[in-house]
Amino acid sequence: MTRRIKVTANDADGGPVAGTKQSMYSGRVFGVYEEDMVYPDKTVHHVGVVTHRPSAVILPITKEGKIILLRQFRGPFARRIIELPAGKVDEGEEPEAAAVRELEEETGYTAESTKFLFKSLPTPGYVNEEFHCYLVRCGKNIGQKLEPSERSIIVMETSVAEALLMIRDGIIEDSKTRDAIMYYYTFLSHNRISLRKGQQGNMNGEAIEISHGQPLLK
């Protein structure tokens, strides 16, 4: 017998109730608090939570259909990581406005049009940060407005096929970047791309076949 379960985005039925909360750290970027969670059977589980403002993630598409990526130095790994443009949503700012602002600051491109793709929870076990992802069709390039800590950013443009190869081969390691590109290709792109080994192609000896469809954003 199959049991059907209705799952909603806010499925809290039968879950624990928040108990005592204690702030452990509050900084410019994130905070940390500890909390007792009381379950229906009266057991108590002690948890630590990292608080972080929501972030906007941008999947920028140029007029030529290229994806704009960034090679950005990340201190925890002491090397550059390939990522999509992204940034914190400021107090009182809407995520879409943050996406447009971050696109201009990090890539120099204005936004001709935007489309909300999805919201994701990158580390729901102990971080309350939310990613709001937007597909953006790029307008003109007016020049980057980088903060001092961002001046090592390298902007790169790649085809959807090349981005898929970089995901498959582990070159793109960042999860939000993988999520957005795969979402775009799976649900929105009219292109169908076949990647085959053993032939000369665009990257690492791969053959890339692309059947062009209708443009996504008109």
Q: Is-catalytic flag, 106?
A: no
Q: Could you give phi then psi for residue 71, rounded to 5 degrees?
A: -100, 110
Residue 106 contacts residue 150 (beta carbons within 8 Å): yes
* 48 Cβ neighbours under 8 A, 6+ residues apart: 24, 32, 33, 34, 35, 126
The CA R_g of the chain, rounded to the nearest whole Å, is 21
Top-confidence residue, 42 or 5: 42
pLDDT tens figures, 162-212: 999 999 999 999 999 999 999 999 988 765 555 554 433 344 444 444 443
b/e 54-87 (16+ beta carbons within 10 angstroms → b):
bbbbbbbbeeeebbbbbebeeeeeeeeebbbbbb
User: How far is it, in rounded angstroms, from Cα 171 to Cα 201?
Assistant: 17
User: How far is it, in rounded angstroms, from Cα 91 to Cα 85?
Assistant: 19
Which residues are registered as beta bridge partners of 109? 141
pLDDT tens figures, 124-161: 999 999 999 999 999 999 998 888 877 789 999 999 99
pLDDT at residue number 31: 96
Residue 21 token pair: 């909360």
Positive or negative: CA dihedral 191, 192, 195, 201:
negative
Q: What is the pTM of this model?
A: 0.80
Catalytic residue among 112, 150, 173, 209: 150
